[in-house]
Amino acid sequence: MKNLYPLNVILLFIAQWLMFNVQCSMVYAQDEPVDIDEWQVMKVAAARDPFAHGNQFTINFANYTVEEWCYPLPGAKLLSPFGGERHHGGTDIKTFAGDTTRAAFPGEVILSGTQYGYGYCVVLRHANGLETLYSHHSRNLVKVGQWLHAGDPIGIEGRTGRATTDHLHFETRVKGKAFDSERIFDHQNRTLRRQVFIVTRQKNGSLIFTSEEVK
């Protein structure tokens, strides 16, 4: 038995060495830089005030590639539209509890937390001048300051806040002011409308949304 003791020590040393290297590899993997488009990041910073150079800005959605947009809840159906008698400030869309909501466009997380009525909520600022809001999550998957590509996970569908069923409350905004997301998304077919979208700010601060069809 005495001759086996050194072997046991060697085997224990090898096991500890392998465990140390695995742990180091995990740390290095977590520290790997995220693939960020620096030009997009700069444009997101500039989009904090899309009216900085005038009272109008345009977004040419006709030029967007499949990598530049994503329906916020793939496979979902329309539950409740914008406006109506309830003056609904967003669009409710629904699939199944626990499904993953996704970033509509590339952007930066500017809010991730709980908000009264919204429950667990995330707001993104995008390079195109828009902001998008996603709420009623059972939990958020992102943090403030995080950069997301279109289609990246944002949260898990739920019913936190003022919600009677599991669904996603989705808003599109300009400078914090919500408008009907149906103007840019065809919710029935879960597609992006191929158009030039125009936002004009009036002297009284109100916003006018128009679009030009691209053939």
Q: What's the chain's average pLDDT?
A: 82
Is the per-residue pLDDT at 130 higher than 50?
Answer: yes
Name the one residue in this structure whose structure tokens are 């590639």: 65
* DSSP per position, 4-60: GHHHHHHHHHHHHHHHHHHHHHHHHHHTSPP---HHHHHHHHHTTSTTTTSSEEEEE
Tokens of 133: 């809001």
Give percent of the chain with pLDDT exceeding 70: 76
Max Cα-Cα span within the chain: 92
- Alpha helices in the chain, H assignment, sequence order: 5-30, 38-46
For residue 121, what are the β-bridge partners?
A: 113, 135
**25 or 119, which is more confident:** 119
E strands in the chain: 56-60, 77-80, 91-94, 100-102, 107-115, 119-126, 131-137, 139-140, 147-148, 153-156, 168-174, 177-179, 185-186, 191-192, 195-201, 207-213
Binning pLDDT at 50, 70 and 90, where does residue 27 land? Answer: very low
Torsion sign (Cα): 37, 42, 47, 48: positive
77 touches 105 (CB < 8 A): no
Task: Give pLDDT tens digits for 179-201.
Answer: 999 999 999 999 999 999 999 99
Tell me how far CA of residue 43 lies from CA of 10, 39, 75, 146, in angstroms: 57, 6, 30, 15
pTM of model > 0.85? no
Binning pLDDT at 50, 70 and 90, where does residue 32 land? Answer: very low
